Structure 1
């Protein structure tokens, strides 16, 4: 935990200020407008990945679709992770920091433009170049942090700069090697995720638990918002072309219930209280690859279900339903595994989300009614969770009041 004091940011910081670490105990630490802008630009790449997943699933190519989506989404998510944790520790909000962050945003927009080629034909050149732009800015940020610090903290920053640069060179294999790209991608992904563990082995950075929790929560909201947007456009297009409102209403209603429940489930617990050490934070942060990925895939699944209902998709009703239920079940289970279970008490509360995930998967057999059924399960899950939490809080309050001395017994 960093002991370095940090002054609150002022509205104007000038061109350059010393990049000292921000303390984990800093009060009133919240996301900045620049960070929100950064997230909104990243969701462009998320939308591109989801759109390609829809096309692959609707054409009956789930293997190619899931593999491509997993690879593209990792690239997007990891670039977002790199900046998010760095800014939590070293955000100076001066002109140079803002300028380098805008360069990273430009890089992700280049990456987003290359998503269709990478997905369809395995041409990663544009994606790699976008990553190069982002990585040059990221390495520059870490070198700046190294110049502003000393001792173990400087070594941590230099390790980050070296690790990020070497990994970027490693990604050249996607361009130079004609075959085996999925295995190369997996190997490089493992190298990427090992960099923070190696860099912070001796001296952790001063990331802020509440700030990190807020940043992840805001990105969850943005991804769910993109899911709503994609599903809405799909419904509108289907109605305009087919006027099959009666067929689409159950899908739209079920999809909306799933998305609303996903929001409620994620924000039901104050997770920043759990983020104490690097070990806890890394497991939680890395696990969000599945949380964010499944949340975005829910919208893609809803689009596939709509296309199947209107006769545009070349898949069965069961297969179309599974694109929604599998994504929703994965979201529920992963949120419970890395997020919610740390605040649940007793076996009943602990079992609510895992059991609900299984029930959502079972809804797949409802075929055309699967999305609505899964939405109802998700809504009941929220209702049960709220009821159990209210009962637990009431019991705790009564126990506290019972143990409190009264005026007559004082």
Structure 2
């Protein structure tokens, strides 16, 4: 049995997981208990998977992601791409960071007792408030409701860290208190920022506070690293990737439905729907091609991987928004050119490919050919922007080709390995 983590082994009381089999007798007791001491879980704990509460938490974030995507579609379709992308990046940052911090905390301290569940529900309420404020943030530069929802989520997380500090000692307690203090101080900064008019100085203030938010975990863990579980973390990130890709599947479905409803545009919209599905299916395949938990071996690597997913998640969700823009342009509802509409799909797809290669799959690549697959596909996708009404189908074929080439190269490498 592995030695206790720096925060202590503590009680393990997560919700019952139906995926456990009868022979898993060594797994921890997962029956619900109303109240337990919040001490850290074993980072080597067997059978550590996402709980139903975590899945519920993720699904509630779909509302906020969908709202951000809808407003991005409207802004780009009306010819305000710059304003739309900026608003999308700001709002998605809040969504992503709140999700990220809860996920890493839960990986180390999930007790799933009454106080933990209530605090999680408060965070869910916060993301719903944030989602309600997305339209105002995009349309009127009014971030008051969105920031209120964000602060609700962060204050609830600060409570969780204070609870963890109560049951810790030494460097572990210092880390927990540092997290709580850092969160509270930065939230005060967000409230002060609300008092300023939105403009150049406001955006600089946002940037400073965003950097401060990202710095809190780095600063807090200088005393001692929290005992997150690599396999659990990789599963949680994979599940959220599926959620944001699901938004793009919904957009491809809208394209196909529009093709059926707009029979006169059937020849233009059906290829968009099929190309969009190819892009999304290939994105899924490429992301889940390797078991990333084996490479999360240090705090520095985990920070880079975890923070880099801002671009992975944001671009994956933006692909769906781009598909809707292409549909609106095809039926004459968007006030932009065909090339600009195509770029709404190809640009986020290229960002997704490059980011997945840089932070996620590069560690498992061997040789120049394997390393060149995703960057080469990104270039091909960008080039497809100028293929007129065939842009999305061509991008989809490029993605499918990347999957095929990657599988062939991986198969060859696997066959050579035993001989070596």
Same structural fold, with TM-score higher than 0.5 when normalized by the shorter chain: yes
* 2:176 pairs with 1:157: yes
Match 2:39 to one of 3, 20, 23: 20
Match 1:199 to one of 193, 198, 220: 220
* 2:265 pairs with 1:244: yes
Query: So what's the TM-score if we normalise by structure 1?
Result: 0.95
State the Cα distance separating 1:14 from its structure 2 match.
Answer: 2.2
1:176 and 1:299 mapped to 2: Cα distance? 34
Q: In 1, are the aligned partners of 2:258 and 2:269 still within 8 Å (CA)?
A: no
Q: In 1, are the aligned partners of 2:67 and 2:134 still within 8 Å (CA)?
A: yes
Match 1:147 to one of 154, 166, 170: 166
Match 2:137 to one of 115, 118, 128: 118
Q: In 2, are the aligned partners of 1:114 and 1:124 still within 8 Å (CA)?
A: yes
* 2:275 pairs with 1:272: no
Runs of at least 5 residues in structure 2 that lack an aligned partner in the other structure: 14-28
Q: In 1, are the aligned partners of 2:10 and 2:37 still within 8 Å (CA)?
A: no
CA RMSD of aligned residues (A): 1.4
User: Which residue does 2:382 correspond to in 1?
Assistant: 361
State the Cα distance separating 1:242 from its structure 2 match.
Answer: 5.7
User: Which residue does 1:406 correspond to in 2?
Assistant: none
Q: In 1, are the aligned partners of 2:259 and 2:270 still within 8 Å (CA)?
A: no
State the Cα distance separating 1:227 from its structure 2 match.
Answer: 1.4
Runs of at least 5 residues in structure 1 that lack an aligned partner in the other structure: 400-410
User: Which residue does 2:276 correspond to in 1?
Assistant: 255
Q: In 2, are the aligned partners of 1:363 and 1:374 still within 8 Å (CA)?
A: yes
State the Cα distance separating 1:357 from its structure 2 match.
Answer: 0.4
Correspondence 1:10-409 to 2 at 5 A: 10-178=29-197, 179-180=199-200, 181-237=202-258, 239-241=260-262, 243-399=264-420
Q: In 2, are the aligned partners of 1:29 and 1:210 still within 8 Å (CA)?
A: yes
1:132 and 1:319 mapped to 2: Cα distance? 36
- Across the two proteins, how many residue pairs are aligned to each other? 399
User: 1:82-111: per-residue Cα shift (whole Å, max 9, x none)?
Assistant: 100000010011111111101110110011
Q: Are the structure 2 counterparts of residues 27 and 11 from structure 1 closer, same or farther at C-alpha, using a change threshold of 3 Å?
A: closer
1:238 and 1:390 mapped to 2: Cα distance? 39
User: Which residue does 1:403 correspond to in 2?
Assistant: none
User: 1:162-216: per-residue Cα shift (whole Å, max 9, x none)?
Assistant: 1111111111244211133222211111010000000001201000101000000
After TM superposition, what 4+ stretches of structure 1 lie above 6 angstroms from structure 2? none
- Matched residue SS, 1:339: helix
User: 1:307-354: per-residue Cα shift (whole Å, max 9, x none)?
Assistant: 111111000000000110001111000000000000001111011101
Q: In 2, are the aligned partners of 1:235 and 1:306 still within 8 Å (CA)?
A: no
1:292 and 1:7 mapped to 2: Cα distance? 33
1:243 and 1:206 mapped to 2: Cα distance? 58
Q: In 2, are the aligned partners of 1:73 and 1:293 still within 8 Å (CA)?
A: yes
1:331 and 1:185 mapped to 2: Cα distance? 24
User: 1:2-58: per-residue Cα shift (whole Å, max 9, x none)?
Assistant: 253355533433221111111211111100000000000011100100000000000
Q: In 2, are the aligned partners of 1:50 and 1:300 still within 8 Å (CA)?
A: yes
